[in-house]
Each structure stands twice: as structure tokens, then as C-alpha cells.
A and B are shown apart, each in its own frame.
Chain A
Amino acid sequence: MASERPTFSPLWHRVRALKPRLRPHVQITRQHYRGRRWHVAHDPASNQFYRLSPVGYEFVGLLDGRRTVEEVWSISLGNHGDGAPTQQEVIELLGQMYSSNLLAIDSTPETEQLLSRGRDRLKRRMAQQAIGLMYFRLRLFNPDRILTWLEPIFRPLLNRWGFLLWLAWVGYGLYAVVPHLDELQAMFKTSMAPANLIWLSVIFIIIKAIHETGHGVICKRFGGQVPEFGAMLLVLVPAPYVDASSAWSFASKWQRIAVGAGGMIFELAIAAAAVHIFASAPDTLTKQLAFNAIFTASISTIFFNANPLMRFDGYYILSDLLEVPNLMNRSTRMLQHLAQKYIYRCENLRPPTTNPTERWILIVYGTLAVAYRVFLFITITLYVLGQFFAVGLVLAVWSAAAWFLIPLGKFVHWLAAGPQLAEHRIRAIATTLALAAGAWLCLGVVRAPDHRRAPGVVESRASAGVYFGAPGRVVAVHKRVGDRVRAGDVIVTCESPAVEYGIAMTRAELAEVQVQERMYTAGNPAAAQVARSIIEAKSETLRTLLDLQSKLEVRAPQDGVLVPGAAGRDPGEFAGVHVQRGQLLCEVVDPDRVRIAATMPTSHAQPLIELPPGAYTVEMRSVSMPYDVVRGGGVRIVEAGRRTIPHAALGFQGGGTVEIDPQDQRGLATKSSEFTVYIDDLVKDGRAWRSVPGERVTVRFTLPSKPLLAQWWHRVEKLLQARTDI
């Protein structure tokens, strides 16, 4: 049903006889949005805007300070009939334009009204600041003079050819960066080190200042004004900003987009330059700085400024590209409208748009923006909580109030006193309660499965190290990693000239002493006694040497499969290598007797510890055979709260998912506290599971079902606990 537009308004008499006119300095530009013509009135002095439809424009155009509003209205009625604005619409138009300083009305200006309007504006600004503590704005100065000086310098470049040049430059930068990708990636890991953070923030501020200059210069180039430069505390990180909103009145959408993209254009040019500096940097500091510049000016820009879901550059660019002005506001209103119409069944609503395409744009954008906002809130809160706990907590509570409680309060107020609900408030309240009850039922009462996942690795319970028994050089390799061996099988053969020579020499000496002993036995019993003791010693030496000789053939100590030892080397790698006695060659493990070692964060493990062993089930899937489900039992949770993982393969460096302290060479020390979980009994299809040790698995613990809210609350609680004990 089309909404009613009553022609008459009871308040008409208050504007009827006024003789307003546009203020002389107001500029009007024509813009096109989705094929419809609009006129934007802009007051450069106070930077206020008002968007007029063609009929409204004609209406305002007829206000010349001599005609009364009544006269103009009747002209408009004559020209447009039903299309003419109604009295109520005229009052709204005049009121809004007058309070935006766009209209002058014949009577002498009412100072009090002007002052109170100013006060109101200030109050609103303060309230916005207070609510958006995560985006605190601090006005600094008027950059007009700087920009007026800079703009002619850049002017020759600010055209189509300049754009092509820029494309080429950025393309060249991209081309140049390719060979250095590995290096950059390596630097990325260390760039968060405290030593670099100061440099990073300095570079960040400089580059963001250049970014804002970019907006300003391009805005200036197309004739806009930039009256304000300031700093915004984005989640406590200071970032500069400029007020380039005068660009909204540009007639060409490409010019508006250019102003919006100006910051990124300048930044990417800097990033491309930094790539070359990086490539040819003489020392590490320059390299580090260049890296910081590349990182800030490209990655952060693209993820942050270009993101259209937040109110930064990307948003305005998108809004202009889609030709949907005031995208954020109107999409929120669109969602509200839908809720009012379909959930609360209000009548006589005015939808934010009637254009079907625009409607869908608003709905899609609105949904995404809301989802993103929730996501952002959670991530930022967690991040800030992790960094500065006390401040973070205050910020989190504050933003929760601003983002959830205030809208909730407004909603409750609307429910209690909203004029659209006047006729069926009780039904609306019942609907809301039913929805809330439904949500509560789904989240708070219905039990949902509760899982914990943990990465694990297969370990053998029966493993034996294979060591070199004698020093020597490996001459033959008989078995490799993965080969099955039986006890006594030779794995590698070594040769040792020293042992061979020793044996020969000892044998010769032994023969000599044996002869002497036989000589003395008759005449000199004392000397024979000495010779016998020498024989004994030499025989001993010979036995040892022969033993060593036998150990030159390294044999498997037990049945099983060869796996690399801690050094992680294959026997094949030892070919021709001189080895020491006692050096580890490899391990032999029994694949029939394996267990799983898994690791999980303390917060995850807590419920497992609290529950009796039978209360949860354990299942796992190996990476190589993901469709086979293995059931586990005999869970042991050990090493409470230690900061190590049981196996390097679980860590970041070993290809796993757990974050590892980069200082640790073994790749076992973690940053947060971890529990190690051993699972001894592994059963697949009723039989013991066999697997190769070292294989990665994902372990899933299925806990008793619990309502989702309880699960979430539990997680938050654990998270806070984990954060507080840092």
C-alpha cells in the first residue's frame, strides 16, 4: 500500500507567509543517481548539504525572497499536480534547509535560535565522540594553506595521463616485488618484534599523513574545500584524517570517487617506491624501514581503507560507484523498515527507497555491514583485551554499551512509545517477546553438541633407537625410513680401518706373548705369571675390538618400521659419512602399538579435566585417511599448563597450527599455555588401529550437549581467565 501523503498540514500557517530565499553563497550542483537527477545544495562556509529532488529544486528555485511560500506552493501545484510536495513536505524541506543554513528567511535572524542550534550541534558531536570511543576524533588545524601550496605541484599529474602513469608505476612495483616475496614473508614474521614496533608506528603515521594529503590535494584539484585536519584514535592507535566532505557536492561521480580513492592512490605510489628501496637496501635498518613502508602502504591500506563495510574510503567509493548516496544510514533504515513491515506489520511506512535495485543493494549491504560490525567488535575487543587488559575491558564495556545497549534501549523505547506502533503496541510487544523467547529457546535451552578439536600426532608407544655401536664410515645402506625390519636385520654397514688394524695388531701381539709365556713356564714362573696377565689383557682388548667389528653392521633391535630419529634423518643420508659411536641412526617403531599425542589450549582442556573419562567420546581422523574415523580411549591429560607441545610437528614451524615462540630452536615452546593429551587405546572398526608414527591427526572430543549460550559463556569465561593470568 502506498503511504498516504495528506495534502494539507495543520502547521501550514507557520510557513505560509514566509518569504525565504537561498542564501547567496549556497552552491547547487547537479548529480545523477541511478538515472535520476538530484540537486545538491552545499554551503561551503558551514559544509552543510541538502539533497533536492527536481521538484524540490524547482520549489527552492522559485523562492526568491519576494514570493511567499504559499504562492510558490500554488505554482508548484499548478506545474506538477500530484507530484508537487505536500504542505508537510514543504515544511520539512524549509525547516531542514533553514537549520542547515542554506535558506535565508526574511525576518531578522533569531540569534537565540542560531545559538541554540550551534549548541545542539556541539552537543551532538560530543555525544558521538563519547559513543565512538573506539574512533575518537581530535581536530588539529586547517590544512587549507598547505594544500593550496601543494595542489599546483601535483596538478600536472592529476588527470587521465597521470592515472595511467600511476598504474604503470604501481604495476612496475608489483613486478619488482615478486622476486622478494620470500624475503618479505620472512620479515613479516619478525616485524612485530618490539624493536620494530616504534619504527612501524612512525612510518605508519607518516604514510597515513601522506594518505590524507592525497585526499586533500585531489579534493582541492576539483575545487573542493578541506577545512579540517585532525587525528583519530582508532582503537587507541592515532591516525590522521581530513574532512573532504565538500567533495560530496561534485557533479561527476568519478571526481567524487577520485577524492575517495586519493589516499590509496598516494599510498600505493609510496609502496611501489618502497619496493625498489627494499630491493637495493644496503643495510638491514633501511630494509626494515622499506619493509614497514611497503606493509603499511599496501596491505594495511587495502584491508583497512578499501574495506567498504566500515566508514572509510572504500565505503564512499562504493557508495558513489553504486550511485546510492548515504548508503550506511539508508541500509540500516531499510533493515529497520523491513522489520517494521514484516515482523511488526506497521502500516503507512515510508520505505527508504522505492527503486527495486537500490532496495536490494541496501538490504545486502545492510546485512553485511551488521554482520561485519559484530565480527569487528568481537575481534577488536579480544585484541585490545589481549594487549592492555584494563583499558581493553573499559573499552569493550563502553563499546558494548554504545553498539548494543544504546540500540537496544532505542528499540525498547520504540516498542514502548514508537508512534508507528501506537495502534497495536500489545501485538508488537507480544511479537518481540515471542521472538526473544524463540531465541532463548534455541540458544539457551535446546542442547547443542559441544565439540573440542585438537591437533595431534601419532606416536609409537614401543620405539627403539638404532645407534651406531662403533665409530666408522658408512659404506652400505640396506634399509630406509619406512622399511619394515625384523630384529637383527642389518640396516647399514660401516667400515673402520682402525678397528681392523687394531684387531690384527692385537692378534699379533697376543701370539707373541703366548709364545713368551710358553717359554717362561718351565724356568721362570714369575715371568710366566706376568705374561699370562698380559695375555689376559690383550684378549680382553681383542674381544672388545671384535665386538666393535661386529657392531659395524648396525642391526634392528626389534621388529618394526624404520622412522627418522630426533635428528630427523634417513639412513640413506649417512652413506659415506663418518659416524661416532653412540650416534643415533634412526628409530624402529612397532606400528601396532601407537598412541596419539595431542595438544590443546588450557581453556579448551578445562572441561575435559573436569569431566569423568567416560563422559565424553574421542574420535579422530588422520590427515592421510580423512574418511576413517578412529575411536579412542584411555585419555590422559598431562603437563598442566606447560608451555610446550609434545611434538614439533604440531607447531607452526613443523607445519602445525600452534603458535610457537620463534626463539625456541626445537620448535616446542609455545606462547600460551597448552595441555598435552595422550590417547592410548585406538580402535577402528573393532580392531586396534595401526598407523605410522608421525602421522598428523585431528582429534575431536565430543562433550555432553549443552545450550549454545552456556557454551559461549564458558568460552568467554575461560578466555578472560587465560588473559588475566598472563
Chain B
Amino acid sequence: MSQALTRYSALFDSVRSRRRKSDVPKGLDVLAARAGMLVESRRVTLGWLRAQAEAVEALSGEIRNHSEAALDQVISETREAFVRGRHDAAVVRRGLAIVREVARRCTGEEAYPVQVMAALALYHGRIVEMLTGEGKTLTGSIAAPLIAWRRRHLHVFTVNDYLARRDAQSREPIYRRCLLRVGAIQQEMGPHERFEVYARAIVYGTPKQITADWLRDLIRMGAHSSAWTGRQSLIAMGEAGGGPMIPGLQAALVDEADAVLIDEGVVPLIIARARRTDDMAEVYRRAATIAASLDEGPDYTIDHLRKKAELKERGRYRCEQLFAQAEEPIWRARRRAEELIRQALIARHCYLKGHQYQIVDGRIVIVDEYTGRLLPDRNWEHGLHQAVEAKERVEVTADRETMARMSFQRFFRSYPFLCGMTGTAADATGEMQTVYNRPVIRVPTHRPMIREQWPTRVFRRGEAKWNAVAAAVEEEHAKGRPVLVGTRSIEASEHLSEKLAARGLAHRVLNANFDREEAELISDAGRGGPNASIVVATNMAGRGTDIKPDEAAIAAGGLHVILTEMHGAKRIDRQFIGRSGRQGDPGSAQIFLSLDDELVRLHVRGVAAVMRRAGTGEELSGAARAAATKLFRFAQRESEARARRGRAGVMKQDHWIDKHLPGM
């Protein structure tokens, strides 16, 4: 009986979450929403947090002296208070002090006041900016019990499966002591296991896993859009299985919140199946052949920025001639046929091996733009993937049919409670507020940060830049400092690797092609001294990697980070640079740019070309350099704005459908 009740309540919660569709404000409502946000963000200020943290500190003295049994007693009482909805400021302070003490007894880690402040900010639904190495794990684990007590189910999102499993295990004693069950969702888990894990109070997992499970729930429960119709299906299915896997979305705590919520916010998670009948392979191959026979310029133009191809009159005419020779009927439908050609042209010019994808075992595998990792189970949509396959002359797979699709943006907006931690949230404050209605707060570091930012160097040509980078690596290496070099693409990392090898520098490369060595490589990356480590890495080394410089390295000046290109968003640059100077360690960072970098080439092509031609010498100096850095920053802002617009557009479309059509 009680199990049936649990399942019914899970169903009810699931339906309720599914129907939660937050409004996108329009017109004057935007102003009202902004005003509301301003009020909301004034509610929790640093000063207030500090005062609360001091109060918690004061409570700690008393709780520290509790016996184990007495501690259990107060835990149970406080939990009771939260569950019954009595969670005023005093109860929250007390709860925090208790959990802090529990954490101290279970793991021996005592939370610093700044961590208590951050935990409190999380409890109040803030996106908290904490620098790398400031103990995000501990902060999360003292905030999580309070949130779980109050909101029943908490999903904690981590960057990868390994971290989910590790954190769930290492924090388990704390949570158990707090009368909460914890579990971690792993890629290889079967449905029954997942069912069981989701029923627990705190669930660790990657956004991808949990979103996918939520989507599967949606597909399974699709027809039952109300608890009433769902109940009948529950009865029909009997006791075995059935019902939703995730008992509703109650609360989310997101690690690396800006990466998940902003950068990957609109990358759709798709559950797809191959189409049953598909004889399109020949069509895609022919499209690739035709595209290869056209000439850029007279026949078509390519807009690299928007990833668009435009056929000109001559190209149209030539296509028509070629279509006439093809036998498949699709070439008779002119618009569709031209669309295929345009797609083939885009695949040819805008999707490059080593940048957007790699070929692994004769298959096209997408490389994630933000993390530099391979995404083996992701495909481009609407035939683009096939067009790329046809271009690379690998086997053309069947086009896939989308069953369900959801962006993280949409998924996380379904949570009534959302909070997060990240090293770089401040740059995305505006979007966090407008899209997720969550204010951002910046918590100070425990120890002052002493990383040095060396002046940016700008070169006219890419080649000169790479030589200068290699020289700089050599110089720092000679001092006995570990060096981490960041590149934007796999291709670039390999190019630099050759340069370094030519100089006889022992180094290691971390990119999607060599991701298996990641853990070992990172643990070694902090090595200093005469044998100091040199690592050339794509963005893979950007997030979640904690490089600890050893004593020799610290003595030599800590980790030196070189960034060889600016990314599309400032946050990603900051993330990468943030690898050095953690927890008050010494460190330094420097950016190397060239005027033919992709960023300026796409966004401010004309100005960059003029600057490249004006003046002499390989490297820019003085006012020219200042102007160039401004230009790069401008291009970066353009790119950020473009990405933001794209995300806003997706949100609007989603909202339109929610409003105008029934269903999920």
C-alpha cells in the first residue's frame, strides 16, 4: 500500500514538474521582472551572509560539545523543523551549524566562514561564484542536506560521471548522518537501478544523464498529461515497473553552473532513433560530389560566421544541370535539392576535421566546442551529420528521427529551486537573471589570490605567435616552473606540439584524441623543478581540473598558464587561466594572440586585416597593441552577444510552442 502511494505521489510530482512552464516576460513585464530581480538580489548580500556566517560560527561552539547521541537528536529535530516548513533564519543557521559539525566529524574537514557563506547563498537559490580550489565540494555538501530536508529531492549536477560517483561516495557519511539517502547516476546503470537511485533524497549525476532520464520519462508518460490519466496507466501496468523514473523536479544544485546553464544551455539533448527506411546515403554522397564540383565565388558564397551557404545564379544553373543527371526523385524537388547542396557546402567549408569533429574508427565524432571533449553519442541533425560523413567518405549512417529533445536551458527552468556554483559566473550575471531568474553572488576567497596577469602579446601572423609561444614555454620551463598551454582546437594543440618537439622540449598533449591519459596527466601537471611538466591542452583542461603545483613548482613561481587564443566568451578564458593561482598559490598567466585568429577573422575581419598590414615587425607594441587587445575584446563581446541572442531565440521558440500547442 505504502509503495503504491509513493509511486502515485512520484507520478503526481512528475506531472506537476512537467507542466511547470515558466513564462518568458514580454514588454513592460521585462522591467517588472528586472525590478523583482533587483529586490531579490538585495535580499541576500555579502554583508548579510557574513553576519549569518558569524552567527553560525557562534552556534558551532555549543554544538561541537554535543555527544554523538545528542547530535543525532538535534539533527532529527532540525530536520523535522525543515520538513514541517518551519525554516526561518534561526532554524537555517542552526541547521548549517549542525551540518558543518557533522561534516567535521565525518570527514575531518571544517568549513571556513566563506564556505558557510557560500552554502547559505546556495540555500537561498543563488548562483555563487567561488574561485577554483576554494572547496566547492565541501560547500556543496553542507548546503545539500538543508536543501534536501526542505525540498525532499535534490539533484546535484557534476561535470562527469566520475565526479558524481566520487562525490556521492565521499559525502555519503555526512548525508547518512543527516538522515538522507544519496546515490549517483552512472552511464552504465540499467533502468531498475536508476529507479531506485532517483527515489533517494540526494542524487548526484551529470546534466546529460538526468536530462536524458527526464526525457525518457516524458516519452514514456507522453500520453498521460495529467495525474488522473497517469494513475490509470499505473494501475494498468500493475506493480512491475511503470510510472516515472524521476519523481518530479524539486531542487537542483549545479556545479560549474555557467558551463551547464549558459554555454551548453541550448545544445539540445536529443533522444533519437534511426529512421526505419533510409535510402538517403546515395543522395548525400551525390550532394557532396556536386558540392565539390562547384567553385566558391562564382557559384556560391559562404558565410562562416552564420554557417550559411548561398548559391548564386551560376551555381543554381550548374546544379540544375547536375540534378538532371541524377536518378533519385528528390533531385526533382528543386528547393529541397538546393537545400541539400547548401548543406553539403556548409559541411565542406564550416565543419573542419580537428575543429568540429574527429574521425574515430571510421565514424564522425563531434568535438565539444566548450570542453574540447569527444561526444561520441551526439549527432548533428537534419542530415548535416550525413553530409559531413559523405564529405569524409566514411559510411553514411541513417538519418535519425528525433523522439524527444530538450535543452538544458529548458530543463533547468523546470526546477522550482535552482542554485549553482562556478568559478566564473559574474560574466553571465545578466543571463542567469533573465533566463533562470537566479541572482549571482560573488563570495570572496579564503586566501587572497596572488596570480600575476602578464601583458597580452599580439602578433601579426599565426606562425609568429606559435614561435613566440614555444619560446615563452622554453623560458618558463628553464626557470623550473610547470607550464600549461591552452589551445582552441585539436589541430592547434598538435601544431604547437611539433614546435615544442623541434625545440627539444619534453611535453605532453591533452586533447580529445588522448583523453584516456587525462587523470594521470593532470596529477602530474603540477610538477616543478628541472624536469618541470609542460602540458599542451585543449579546453579539456579548463573545467574541473585541479592542478596542484608541488613544492619545487611553488618555489619557482607556481604554474604558468599560456592561452594561445581568445575564446568566444570571456568566461572560458578566465576558467582556463584560473588553473593557476589556486588557494593563494603563486602563479602567472599570459595571453598570446595573432591577428589571423578565428575570433577576429569572423567578427572584425576588415579591421584586423588593416591592422595586420599597417606597420612592420612581427609583434605589435605600444598603442597598436593596446588597440589590438581592445579589438579582440570587442570581437569577444560580439561573439558573446551572438551566442546570447541564439539562446534567447531558442527560449522564445520553446515558449511559443508551450503556449500554442499541448503536450510536453
A residues in contact (CB < 8 Å) with B = 5-8, 10-18, 81-82, 91, 94-96, 98-99, 105, 107-110, 112-113, 116-117, 419, 422-423
Q: B653 contacts the other chain (Cβ, under 8 Å)?
A: yes
The answer to whether B664 touches A14 (Cβ under 8 A) is: yes
Known contacts A95-B656, A419-B645, A423-B306; A110/B662 CB under 8 A: yes
Interchain CA distance A105-B660 in the complex, whole Å: 11
The answer to whether A96 touches B268 (Cβ under 8 A) is: no
The answer to whether A107 touches B645 (Cβ under 8 A) is: no
Chain A residues with Cβ below 8 Å from B229 are: 108
The answer to whether A8 touches B404 (Cβ under 8 A) is: no
Interchain CA distance A422-B226 in the complex, whole Å: 40
The answer to whether B653 touches A105 (Cβ under 8 A) is: no
Q: B225 contacts the other chain (Cβ, under 8 Å)?
A: yes
Q: B403 contacts the other chain (Cβ, under 8 Å)?
A: yes
Chain B residues with Cβ below 8 Å from A95 are: 656-657, 659-661
The answer to whether A10 touches B336 (Cβ under 8 A) is: no
- Distance of A645 from chain B, by nearest CB (Å): 53
Interchain CA distance A339-B168 in the complex, whole Å: 59
Q: B223 contacts the other chain (Cβ, under 8 Å)?
A: yes
Chain B residues with Cβ below 8 Å from A96 are: 660
Contact residues of B between 628 and 664, Cβ < 8 Å to A: 642, 645, 649, 653-654, 656-657, 659-664
Interface string of B555-594 (1 = CB under 8 A from A): 0000000000000000000000000000000000000000
**A10 touches which of B332, B403, B405, B661 (Cβ 8 Å):** B405
The answer to whether A107 touches B660 (Cβ under 8 A) is: no
- Distance of B659 from chain A, by nearest CB (Å): 7
Interface residues on B, range: 20 to 34
Known contacts A6-B339, A11-B653, A82-B334; A98/B381 CB under 8 A: no
Known contacts A82-B334, A108-B225, A108-B226; A11/B660 CB under 8 A: no
> Which A residue sits closest to B271, measured CB to CB?
A13
Q: Which of A94, A96, A113 has the most CB of B within 10 A?
A: A113
- Distance of B599 from chain A, by nearest CB (Å): 17
Q: What are 18 A-B interface contacts by the 8 Å CB criterion?
A: A7-B336, A11-B657, A14-B664, A16-B402, A18-B662, A81-B333, A81-B336, A95-B656, A95-B657, A96-B660, A99-B659, A105-B661, A108-B229, A110-B225, A110-B662, A117-B659, A422-B645, A423-B306
Known contacts A10-B381, A14-B664; A113/B659 CB under 8 A: yes
Chain B residues with Cβ below 8 Å from A12 are: 402
Chain A residues with Cβ below 8 Å from B226 are: 108
Q: Known pairs A7-B335, A10-B402, A12-B402; list 7 more (Cβ under 8 Å).
A: A5-B335, A10-B268, A81-B332, A82-B335, A95-B656, A107-B225, A110-B19
Interchain CA distance A13-B406 in the complex, whole Å: 10
Chain A residues with Cβ below 8 Å from B659 are: 95, 99, 113, 116-117
Chain A residues with Cβ below 8 Å from B334 are: 82
Q: B382 contacts the other chain (Cβ, under 8 Å)?
A: yes
Chain B residues with Cβ below 8 Å from A13 are: 402-405
- Distance of A122 from chain B, by nearest CB (Å): 15
**B660 touches which of A99, A108, A419 (Cβ 8 Å):** A99
Chain A residues with Cβ below 8 Å from B645 are: 419, 422
Chain A residues with Cβ below 8 Å from B335 are: 5, 7, 82
Contact residues of B between 390 and 425, Cβ < 8 Å to A: 402-405
Interchain CA distance A16-B657 in the complex, whole Å: 13
The answer to whether A419 touches B653 (Cβ under 8 A) is: no
Interchain CA distance A116-B339 in the complex, whole Å: 39
- Distance of B55 from chain A, by nearest CB (Å): 42
- Distance of A721 from chain B, by nearest CB (Å): 36
The answer to whether A8 touches B381 (Cβ under 8 A) is: yes
Chain B residues with Cβ below 8 Å from A16 are: 402
Q: 4 nearest interchain CB pairs?
A: A95-B660, A13-B402, A8-B382, A82-B335
Chain B residues with Cβ below 8 Å from A11 are: 653-654, 657
Interface string of B326-353 (1 = CB under 8 A from A): 0000001111100100000000000000
B residues in contact (CB < 8 Å) with A = 19, 222-223, 225-226, 229, 268, 306, 332-336, 339, 381-383, 402-405, 642, 645, 649, 653-654, 656-657, 659-664
- Distance of A41 from chain B, by nearest CB (Å): 16
- Distance of B219 from chain A, by nearest CB (Å): 10
Q: Which of B19, B268, B335, B403 has the most CB of A within 10 A?
A: B335
The answer to whether A113 touches B642 (Cβ under 8 A) is: no
Interchain CA distance A5-B335 in the complex, whole Å: 8
Chain A residues with Cβ below 8 Å from B660 are: 94-96, 98-99
Interchain CA distance A96-B268 in the complex, whole Å: 25
Chain A residues with Cβ below 8 Å from B664 are: 14
> Which B residue sits closest to A109, measured CB to CB?
B662
Interchain CA distance A468-B645 in the complex, whole Å: 95
Interchain CA distance A113-B336 in the complex, whole Å: 36
Interchain CA distance A109-B662 in the complex, whole Å: 8
Q: Which of A14, A95, A112 has the most CB of B within 10 A?
A: A14
Interchain CA distance A15-B404 in the complex, whole Å: 10
The answer to whether A14 touches B268 (Cβ under 8 A) is: no
**A91 touches which of B222, B381, B383, B657 (Cβ 8 Å):** B657
Chain B residues with Cβ below 8 Å from A107 are: 223, 225, 662-663
- Distance of B379 from chain A, by nearest CB (Å): 13
> Which B residue sits closest to A95, measured CB to CB?
B660
Interchain CA distance A98-B661 in the complex, whole Å: 7
Chain B residues with Cβ below 8 Å from A81 are: 332-333, 336
- Distance of A97 from chain B, by nearest CB (Å): 9
Known contacts A95-B661, A98-B661, A110-B225; A82/B336 CB under 8 A: yes
Chain A residues with Cβ below 8 Å from B662 are: 18, 98, 105, 107, 109-110, 113
Q: Which of B383, B654, B657 has the most CB of A within 10 A?
A: B657
> Which B residue sits closest to A97, measured CB to CB?
B660
Chain A residues with Cβ below 8 Å from B339 are: 6-7
Chain B residues with Cβ below 8 Å from A14 are: 405, 657, 661, 663-664
Interchain CA distance A108-B654 in the complex, whole Å: 21
Chain A residues with Cβ below 8 Å from B656 are: 95
Interchain CA distance A99-B660 in the complex, whole Å: 5
> Which B residue sits closest to A86, measured CB to CB?
B335
Interchain CA distance A17-B223 in the complex, whole Å: 10
The answer to whether A112 touches B19 (Cβ under 8 A) is: yes
- Distance of A347 from chain B, by nearest CB (Å): 9
> Which A residue sits closest to B407, measured CB to CB?
A10
- Distance of A74 from chain B, by nearest CB (Å): 11
Q: Which of B335, B654, B662 has the most CB of A within 10 A?
A: B662
Interchain CA distance A14-B268 in the complex, whole Å: 13
Chain B residues with Cβ below 8 Å from A113 are: 659, 662
- Distance of B107 from chain A, by nearest CB (Å): 45
Interchain CA distance A95-B662 in the complex, whole Å: 9
Chain B residues with Cβ below 8 Å from A91 are: 657, 661
- Distance of B212 from chain A, by nearest CB (Å): 15
> Which A residue sits closest to B664, measured CB to CB?
A14
Interchain CA distance A105-B664 in the complex, whole Å: 13
Known contacts A7-B336, A110-B225, A419-B645; A18/B663 CB under 8 A: yes
Interchain CA distance A580-B226 in the complex, whole Å: 108
- Distance of B38 from chain A, by nearest CB (Å): 21
Chain A residues with Cβ below 8 Å from B383 are: 8
Chain B residues with Cβ below 8 Å from A8 are: 381-383
Interchain CA distance A98-B339 in the complex, whole Å: 30
Chain A residues with Cβ below 8 Å from B19 are: 110, 112
Chain A residues with Cβ below 8 Å from B382 are: 7-8, 10
> Which A residue sits closest to B305, measured CB to CB?
A423
- Distance of B434 from chain A, by nearest CB (Å): 12
Interchain CA distance A419-B650 in the complex, whole Å: 12
Chain B residues with Cβ below 8 Å from A5 are: 335
